[in-house]
Structure 1
Amino acid sequence: MTWSFHTEDPADGRLRLHAAPPALKPHHSRGLLLSRPNQPHRIHWLAVRNSQRRRGVGHALLTAIVDRWPTETIEVVTFTADTAGGAPARRLYECHGFTCVGASDPAPDGSPRDLYILRRDST
């Protein structure tokens, strides 16, 4: 499937990527990625609708953000290895070259999280 990406850069500096088939508008997104342009670049939230999982939406979103910042380090906080249902997210980041560097601050509900980093030369 071909994906189109609708980007927004509102005044707060957040980047929003909406993945949808080309004929659909952003509010029909199959997935959403939120990030900020500051460095190190950080993915704040990546989500794919349950009905759209295992269809390449997460890969498309992550590829778009990695391509947007081709030489800079990118960080993301995600589920720990023992979090139920967290394995697909971890595999997605690892497939794109991210490495788990250890524990991060816990989620708002107190559950543990890990920090993943994609390190690249900034030259």
Structure 2
Amino acid sequence: MKKYIHIPSKQKMPKISYRHSPVMQDTPNRFELKDLFKTGKVDVSKLAFCVNVCYNLADLMETLVLEAESELKKVGSDLELEMRHPIDRMKIHTREMVRFVDTRTSERFAESYGETSDKLKELIIDFYKKLL
């Protein structure tokens, strides 16, 4: 995320909003998902595959990040490491993705998604254990 420094030309400091306002953003190519599919330019099955894999990996990452954080807390909760900030960012983003599946999809889909992520985790953990 880029940080901008605002140097005011007036005496009074302006209020700076950290939320992006939809009015200020230039989004000429913004589509609803259903309209995007109608264009014929998108391979729907490839997009669905990629998105599903990303969400499964997010679930896996959330689990692993929470486990890593748990290990770091054993040393101390005030531990400052270079990797601490990226771990915190991953935790936030993966939690948002997992929450999306939990809240915006059916219970059956969310359960299936969780089971798939658990199987994926087992495969990846087994793969890395064999390397060590």
Q: Normalising by structure 1, what TM-score?
A: 0.31
Structure with the larger helix share: 2
Q: Which has the higher contact order (CA 8 A, sep 6+)?
A: 2
TM score, norm. by length of structure 2: 0.29
Higher Cα Rg: structure 1 or 2? 2
